[in-house]
Amino acid sequence: MTEKTRRTPRQSRSEATVEAILEAAFQLLEAGGVEALTTNHIAERAGVSVGTLYQYFGGKQAILAGLAQKRAEAARDRIAEIVIANSSVGRPELGAVRLIVRTLATAFEGSPATRRALLDALTAEGGDDVVMRNHVTFFDMIAGKAALGFDLSPEAGFVLTHAVVGLLRAATIESDLALEPQALEDELVRLMEAYISALLVARSG
């Protein structure tokens, strides 16, 4: 089945089917890893036929990419809400930085192997365009709704949206370092608060 004829989940039943497929994939990924994951196993766990599964997804990698994209979008939307809710005229709430970092750090739940598989699938499916699209969408979402208190140049916006994501991705890839999650969160918060403070100083100066 071609991508053009593959269904999109517009009706509630279709959405439920897609959700069941994605959840089944996550459960099996956690249990046996990406090597043991097959579309037959996913369909069986989801309670659908393999034919039904292929009406929505092109294969295992597309399912993993769909799961990763869904979670990335949920994290993006949540961060937009945090930024809008915690900004005020003249100065954003720096305390919101920890909420943002934690949201990014927990966007892909599961074991390190599961997070790595999801990131790999997302990159393979959409490449760097995935990050760029979420970057653009995020700033569209907060435009006119968040008083950041500093000049948000394209360069500053790039750093703000890519620094934590890039470091978290590196931590997932370099899992042998066994970085302690709370300590890593503290360091990322320190990094972002220092950068935002510097932007506020530059604006006031």
Token duo for residue 136 = 């653009």
Residue 203 has what pLDDT?
75
Residue predicted with more confidence, 11 or 177: 177
Sequence-separated contacts (24+) of 23-28 with Cβ below 8 Å: 25/60, 25/63, 25/64, 25/67, 26/67, 26/110, 26/114
CATH fold of 1-58, please?
A: Arc Repressor Mutant, subunit A (1.10.10)
Nearest to residue 186, comparing CAs of 116, 110, 105, 107? 105
Which distant-in-sequence residues (6+ apart) come within 8 Å of 12 by Cβ? Answer: none
Q: Hey, where are the domains in the chain?
A: 1-58, 66-204
Q: Has residue 2 got a pLDDT over 70?
A: no
Nearest to residue 168, comparing CAs of 95, 101, 123? 101
H-type alpha helices, the chain: 12-32, 39-46, 50-56, 60-85, 96-105, 112-126, 129-142, 154-173, 181-204
- pTM for the full model? 0.80
Residue predicted with more confidence, 197 or 11: 197
Mean per-residue pLDDT of the chain: 86
Residue 89 has what pLDDT?
45
Token duo for residue 112 = 């390190």
Q: Has residue 30 got a pLDDT over 70?
A: yes
Q: Has residue 92 got a pLDDT over 70?
A: no
Residue 10 has what pLDDT?
60
The pLDDT tens digits for 115-135 are 889 888 888 876 667 778 888
Residue 130 has what pLDDT?
79
Q: Has residue 191 got a pLDDT over 60?
A: yes
Residue 122 has what pLDDT?
83
Model confidence at 90, in pLDDT bands (50, 70, 90)? very low
Which distant-in-sequence residues (6+ apart) come within 8 Å of 2 by Cβ? Answer: none
**Mean pLDDT computed over 85-92:** 60
Token duo for residue 73 = 């979008």
